[in-house]
Structure 1
Amino acid sequence: MKTYVSCIVLVVLCSSAVKALSKDWAYFYLKTACSLMGNSGGVQYPTSDSRVIAFQAKANKRLVNIPRHHAVKFGHIIINKGGGYDSRTGKFTAPVAGVYFFDWTIVTDNGDEFNTDIVKNGAVFGTNLCRVRLVSTNEKPCTATARIEMKRGDKVWIRVTDNGKDAHMTISTFGGHKL
């Protein structure tokens, strides 16, 4: 009787709650139990590729005089679903393979210049040129986007192209998500 009740509980779990599981180990054990019991009732099991992967970070300090080809570190994480963004390095590491969409905004003012590239594993995939005239009293946001195909473990970051003279904190951002 005890085995029969356990099977009923697992069948109920298999048919109604598999999609809601977020822990890989729980998913693995439940999927294994369901397949051992012959569950072929059309349950669509989630894959690691179906989890949400998204991040958004902003500068937590003024970005001043960053040397050529150094990573821009957006130190304040707003969202980091999937855990791919590392604020210490400024780099996003793809937890799963796929095509990712990235955007980054640099905000300068009063004659400042802050030019950046988006880089995957050392190769440039896009550029964002941001320069404001000296006579301007307004801030200028410069935004660029990129769609990049990535393998699991590939890294993407924003780096300074030539000279990261001065950019505003809190409104300079870097984000992305898996399509």
Structure 2
Amino acid sequence: MGIIYISLSLFVCSALISMSCCSEILDMQKMFQTLEAQQDAISQLTNQVLQLKGELQSKMDETSERLRECSRNKRLLLENPYEGALKVGFTAKLSNHMLNLGNNQAILFDTIVTNIGHHYSANTGVFTAPINATYYFFASIMSHTNEKLETEIVKNGVREVTMYSYDNVHEQGSNSVVLQLNTGDEVWVRHLSMYGTKVYGNGWSTFSGFKISDD
């Protein structure tokens, strides 16, 4: 009986030890599974952090470029106070001859070369000032062979400067003027009744103007 008791005791102890080892193994497996799950989560978080870091760096680079552009624009404005201000300028030419000109008839420079701001009208030959400013105007008018021609640059219908041309060949009369204009003032070139009734076209007669500075 003593031997049987000892044997049973050893069997029970062995069984308990085996169960304990199995429990420990199961706990370790669960621990490893938990660690693997945590590593996967950490890896995902690391990837998300790297992605966010890349996006943040891209935004920072974009912001830095915008700041540099603003700095460049500010520097340009300081170097040139008229940079970015309203730009005005035009050149137009007479495509066909104008014949039988009447007294004070406007010369219609109908072909536009440049018209920055679109303040010159090829339909009327008139430039209209968009703002109060100082402007420069120049006109060159060609006469026909052996014919005198007198023209003028006018502001709101009042003579500012005149042009005269005459020769036994084609000749050009030209003049220029600097004018201070208010918004809505008009400047154009017109014929004078004293001499000539024809203006030579084909691009030989031109009218130009541009804004020099704001008042």
Q: Note the alpha carbon deviations across 1:82-133, whole angstroms, 9 max, x for none.
A: 211100000001122211111111111322122111111121111112233x
Is this contact kept in 2: 1:116–1:161, CA < 8 A? Answer: yes
Alpha carbon RMSD of aligned pairs, Å?
2.9
Unpaired runs of 5+ residues, structure 2, are 1-55
Stretches (4+) displaced over 3 A: 4-20, 42-49
Higher relative contact order (CA 8 A, sep 6+): 1
1:1-179 matched pairs, under 5 angstroms: 14-16=70-72, 50-132=85-167, 136=168, 138-162=169-193, 164-169=196-201, 170-179=203-212
What SS does the corresponding residue of 1:50 show, helix, strand or coil?
A: coil
What SS does the corresponding residue of 1:175 show, helix, strand or coil?
A: strand
Shift of 1:10: 7.2
Residues 159-168 or 122-131, more deviating: 159-168
Unpaired runs of 5+ residues, structure 1, are 21-41
Q: Note the alpha carbon deviations across 1:58-88, whole angstroms, 9 max, x for none.
A: 0011011111111110000000112111000
Q: Which has the larger Rg? A: 2
- The structure whose residues are more often helix, as a share, is 2
Number of residues paired by the alignment?
Answer: 152
Is this contact kept in 1: 2:145–2:171, CA < 8 A? Answer: no
Is this contact kept in 1: 2:147–2:196, CA < 8 A? Answer: no
Q: Note the alpha carbon deviations across 1:18-54, whole angstroms, 9 max, x for none.
A: 799xxxxxxxxxxxxxxxxxxxxx9799779833311
What SS does the corresponding residue of 2:100 show, helix, strand or coil?
A: strand
Structure 2 Cα separation of the partners of residues 113 and 19 of structure 1: 53
